[in-house]
Structure 1
Amino acid sequence: MPETRPYQHHYLKAACANCSVLELCLPIGLSSHEVERLDTLIIQRVKVKKGATLYRAGDPLRSLYAVRIGSFKTSMLSVDGREQVTGFQIPGEMLGLDAISDDRHTCSAFALEDSEVCPFNFAQLEKLAQELPSLQHNMNKLLSREIVREHNLLMMMGNMNSDERLAAFLLNLSQRLSVRGYSSRDFVLKMRREEIGSYLGLRLETICRGIAHLRDLELVEISGRNVKVLNLDGLKQLVVGCHRQSPL
């Protein structure tokens, strides 16, 4: 399990209009005036050290968090105390949506590396969304995206074998990184193999065998946490029945 110390209190004033992931985040499609109004909700950015928690399961809902730099994982504890990873978040994606239903977080969020988030006070965000239909629309899209992600995860668990699950995971991460201007073929996994296995419902040894199989098929080369996609089209073809990749 990662360390459970709270996030480090390093604050930096931010401006949404100057953010490198503006077009992937909550302000997407908003006018410059609307972005300025949204920007007033962010008193400061927050730096979160690697291994630290941004929030823990059971904490009350105070803010939603936009990942600006770095990456996170969200996880829950099973009844026997084992960690179940529920997602991985990268720049431009939101954390904290799990708490909207009953005002308490159902997951804990851990930084996978030194990271930075923009907190939006949820009560103020809701109030502003009532005044800005475009912002309300974006919030609805975020919630819908979470539902789609859950549905795709359930489909993957029910219909894909272990190699297909691993291929789908790598392909999805490749696509998400590409949208953010990073290489779709050369990237570094910020999460451990055990964490990938937890997310995909696979044992560590199955993940290791799957990596070896993808290498034997000359689709992917994985050395440590460094990933090199050798055949992107072949990786897509391995994901049987998935004609379009949606965010996992």
Structure 2
Amino acid sequence: MTRQTTAARLVHPVPDHGAAPIRLQPLPPACAACRVSGLCLPTGLPVDDSQCLGALIGPRIRIHKGAPLFNANDPLTTLYAVRCGSFKTNLNNAEGQGVVINFWMPGDVLGLDAIATEHHVCDAIALEDSEVCPIPYRRLQALARDFPVLQQSLNRLMSREIVREHERVLMLCNLTAEERLANFLIDLSRCFVDRGYSAQSFILRMSREDMASYLGLRLETVCRSVARLRAQGIVNLQGRLVEILDMTALRALEQGVGDIDRKSGPKPPDHLPPG
């Protein structure tokens, strides 16, 4: 995947929370050539209609690692399709403590949280240098009236996120620490397979702290769970490199029938309440 030369002008004013997004030179056949286009929103458009496609997708934007794509309370103007890189979304509680609610990979569309109120409810932060394709929301609505299949694609994306959140709630309420970690790694494996990568070997872009926050666990609990998976020969996790050595055992653990010692329920000192 070739990187484009960056231009030194801002897309729009951005709060000073980090390095500002930088506009990249657009690729004319961007969607047709994109390896994750099959996961993305523009699949509802006729890809041979360059005028229609150009009317929807703006020039790609690069977001530097640690910089925000958008912040909570920002007005909804644009949805963002992740072309490469990864993001996390955070919710802040009344005390200002952030809770990681999701991770986003190429092909995912960010910004759907703002459709109900027309303001974002979370912060979206780049976990690495990333690129997104901006989709102006008002223009999307107008085109969806002319292309019903595009509206169906948008509805499918929103439904997918609802299902994803329901699954996370079930995970937080019902699974032990090791089961949560197994569930997380299996979900990541599926995501990488969908994007054409290995199911057994991949790199984590999020920190252990972010993993702990997302899983509703304390950091030391995550570290202990990783060590137990390694000791069982199920997963080898060194730094951020993950190697799943025994997928069958990992799936069994996710279902609560693995060999790792399990407790009847989560221990209050180790688990945090769902965010």
TM range (shorter): over 0.9
**Quick one: which amino acid aligns to residue 89 of structure 2?**
T
**Quick one: which amino acid aligns to residue 173 of structure 2?**
G
- 1:13 is paired with a residue whose SS is coil
Question: Of the two, which has the highest radius of gyration?
Answer: 2
Whether 2:80 is the aligned partner of 1:65: answer yes
Contact 1:50–1:113, Cα closer than 8 Å, also in 2: yes
Using the TM superposition, give the Cα deviation of residue 81 of structure 1 relative to its aligned residue in structure 2, in angstroms: 1.6
Residue number in structure 1 paired with 2:151? 136
Cα shift readout 1:120-141 (whole Å, capped 9, x = no counterpart) = 0000001101110110000000
Structure 1 Cα separation of the partners of residues 164 and 108 of structure 2: 13
Task: Using structure 1 for the length normalisation, give the TM-score.
Answer: 0.92
Unmatched tracts of structure 1, length 5 or more: 243-248
Residue number in structure 1 paired with 2:61? 46
Using the TM superposition, give the Cα deviation of residue 10 of structure 1 relative to its aligned residue in structure 2, in angstroms: 2.7
Contact 2:45–2:147, Cα closer than 8 Å, also in 1: no
Contact 1:16–1:35, Cα closer than 8 Å, also in 2: no
Whether 2:138 is the aligned partner of 1:126: answer no
Contact 1:17–1:35, Cα closer than 8 Å, also in 2: no
Residue number in structure 2 paired with 1:89? 104
**Quick one: which amino acid aligns to residue 20 of structure 2?**
Y
Using the TM superposition, give the Cα deviation of residue 31 of structure 1 relative to its aligned residue in structure 2, in angstroms: 3.4
Whether 2:224 is the aligned partner of 1:202: answer no
Whether 2:37 is the aligned partner of 1:22: answer yes
Aligned pair partner of 1:155 in 164, 170, 174: 170
Using the TM superposition, give the Cα deviation of residue 26 of structure 1 relative to its aligned residue in structure 2, in angstroms: 0.9
Structure 1 Cα separation of the partners of residues 142 and 85 of structure 2: 29
Greater displacement, 35-44 / 45-54: 35-44
- 2:181 is paired with a residue whose SS is helix
Aligned pair partner of 1:7 in 9, 17, 20: 20
Cα shift readout 1:99-120 (whole Å, capped 9, x = no counterpart) = 0010000011011000000000
How many aligned residue pairs are there? 240
Whether 2:188 is the aligned partner of 1:179: answer no
Residue number in structure 1 paired with 2:8? none
Using the TM superposition, give the Cα deviation of residue 39 of structure 1 relative to its aligned residue in structure 2, in angstroms: 3.5
State the identity %.
Answer: 47
Contact 1:74–1:88, Cα closer than 8 Å, also in 2: yes
Contact 1:21–1:92, Cα closer than 8 Å, also in 2: yes
Unmatched tracts of structure 2, length 5 or more: 1-15, 258-275
**Quick one: which amino acid aligns to residue 164 of structure 2?**
R
Task: Using structure 2 for the length normalisation, give the TM-score.
Answer: 0.83
Residues 185 and 36 of structure 1: CA distance in aligned 2, closer, same or farther (over 3 Å): farther
- 1:196 is paired with a residue whose SS is helix
Residue number in structure 2 paired with 1:239? 254
Cα shift readout 1:40-84 (whole Å, capped 9, x = no counterpart) = 222310000111100000100010000001000000111122110
Structure possessing the higher relative contact order (Cα contacts under 8 Å, 6 or more residues apart): 1
Contact 1:221–1:227, Cα closer than 8 Å, also in 2: yes
